């Protein structure tokens, strides 16, 4: 039995009520629906705002992070006065201020294999606003196991993707990407960068697909993936098919329970493999001491030229991480090399290449230039 609309709600949603494909029944479906938004960041912000405005009756928000200044470039749910405060609590207040007729539930915790099933059972649809592979695979697997749609979105620099995965009707995320990349082989959410407007576009499209799923209007993007190139204004639509050999939704599934595939953005970087040990790293304090004592260290900055303009360690040589393999002849195999990036992801990736090429004394700066700024040089700008 769908809930009725109050007189105020009829007025609020009047533009929906006169809309073919939505109408009164569609609006009542929205009021009766529940959506869990995983990650209240660049994607989750516009998605949450539009779903609240559209009248989705119960919205869950899960995020363990606090608002920071670096969020404000794209996370439009927040303002400067909220820096340092829990995202889900601030987001809940904002959504209820927009629409007091809905219910908003804050879950200030990490979305992990320990809580994902129980949390997801409380909602009809899962909308993924995360920024890392671990959460995407976990969100997909939850939806496959519980038989519900997974509204996917992702952004990187100037590019974005959006689509709906529903294993009951076709492909799941693992059908398209069977295995996550190895830890440490891809830049973190902060290291890669993203144009602030792009998550607004992708997150809004995720909200659109969610509304379509709830109301039955139009054709949801099930088995389709939209690829967005923000620089060239190119939109490509790819048709997807279920992979019969998929490990979770195929004919003979291997995955029958949840597992965490990698660390979350903002958590400590895992070791790439067992060969990596503490001798591969140098702390900011250790590096400062060795430089002070005159040890001949060659500093290799594996960031982008744009990042160098913000902050740099004196005397560094710039070699972006994806070009490191082309510069192996620039240095001696017995040199003391210290690689660094923003937070330690790209430098560790590049270090593995050097170690495998015989640079046995090469190390990387643990925590990157951010750790240096916080522990050694407080005048250095953080980003």
Strand stretches in the chain, DSSP E: 34-38, 58-62, 103-107, 125-128, 150-156, 159-165, 224-229, 234-239, 281-282, 297-301, 317-318, 336-340, 363-365
pLDDT at 142: 97
- How would you list the strands of the sheet with 125-128, edge to edge? 103-107, 58-62, 34-38, 125-128, 150-156, 159-165, 224-229, 234-239
- Which architecture does CATH list for 33-239? 3-Layer(aba) Sandwich (3.40)
CATH 3.40.250.10 holds for 278-375: yes
Copy the structure tokens of residue 6: 């109050």
pLDDT at 188: 57
Domain boundaries, the chain: 33-239, 278-375
97 three-class SS? helix
d(C-alpha 383, C-alpha 380), whole Å? 10
pLDDT at 250: 95
pTM above 0.85, yes or no: no
Provide the annotated active-site residues.
189, 341
Q: What is the pLDDT along the chain (383 residues), one digit of tens a residue?
A: 999 999 999 999 999 999 999 999 999 999 999 999 999 999 999 999 999 999 999 999 999 999 999 999 999 999 999 999 999 999 999 999 999 999 999 999 999 999 999 999 999 999 999 999 999 999 999 999 999 999 999 999 999 999 999 999 999 999 999 988 865 566 655 667 899 999 999 999 999 999 999 999 999 999 999 999 999 999 999 999 999 999 999 999 999 999 876 544 434 333 444 445 678 999 999 999 999 999 999 999 999 999 999 999 999 999 999 899 999 999 999 999 999 999 998 999 899 999 999 999 999 999 999 999 999 999 999 99
- How would you list the strands of the sheet with 281-282, edge to edge? 281-282, 363-365, 336-340, 297-301, 317-318
């Amino acid at each position: 039995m769908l809930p009725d609309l109050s007189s105020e709600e009829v007025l609020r949603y009047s533009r929906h009520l006169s809309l073919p494909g939505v109408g009164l029944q569609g609006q009542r479906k929205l009021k009766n629906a529940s959506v869990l938004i995983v990650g209240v960041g660049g994607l989750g912000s516009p998605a949450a705002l539009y779903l609240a405005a559209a009248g989705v009756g119960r919205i869950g928000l899960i995020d363990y992070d606090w608002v920071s200044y670096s969020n404000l470039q794209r996370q439009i749910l927040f303002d400067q006065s909220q820096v340092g405060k829990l995202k889900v609590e601030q987001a809940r207040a904002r959504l209820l201020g927009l629409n007091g007729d809905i219910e908003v539930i804050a879950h200030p915790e990490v979305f992990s294999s320990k809580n994902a099933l129980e949390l997801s059972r409380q909602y009809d649809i899962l909308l993924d606003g995360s920024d890392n592979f671990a959460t995407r695979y976990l969100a997909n697997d939850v939806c496959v196991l519980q038989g519900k749609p997974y509204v996917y979105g992702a952004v990187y620099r100037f590019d974005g993707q959006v689509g709906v995965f529903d294993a009951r009707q076709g492909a799941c995320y693992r059908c398209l990407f069977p295995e996550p990349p190895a830890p440490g082989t891809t830049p973190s959410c902060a290291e890669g960068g993203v144009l602030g407007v792009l998550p607004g576009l992708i997150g809004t499209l995720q909200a659109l697909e969610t509304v379509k799923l709830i109301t039955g209007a139009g054709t949801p993007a099930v088995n389709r993936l939209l690829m967005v190139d923000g620089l060239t204004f190119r939109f490509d639509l790819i048709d997807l098919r279920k992979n019969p050999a998929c490990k979770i939704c195929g004919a003979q599934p291997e995955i029958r329970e949840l597992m965490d595939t990698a660390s979350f953005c903002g958590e400590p970087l895992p070791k790439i493999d067992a060969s990596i040990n503490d001798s591969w790293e140098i702390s900011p304090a250790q590096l400062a001491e060795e430089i002070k004592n005159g040890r001949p260290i060659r500093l290799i900055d594996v960031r982008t030229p744009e990042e160098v303009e913000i902050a740099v360690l004196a005397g560094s040589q710039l070699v972006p991480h994806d070009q490191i393999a082309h510069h192996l002849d620039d240095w001696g195999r017995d040199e003391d090399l210290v690689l660094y990036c923003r937070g330690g992801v790209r430098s560790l990736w590049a270090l593995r290449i050097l170690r495998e090429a015989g640079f046995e004394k090469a190390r990387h700066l643990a925590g990157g230039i951010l750790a240096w700024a916080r522990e050694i040089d407080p005048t250095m700008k953080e980003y």
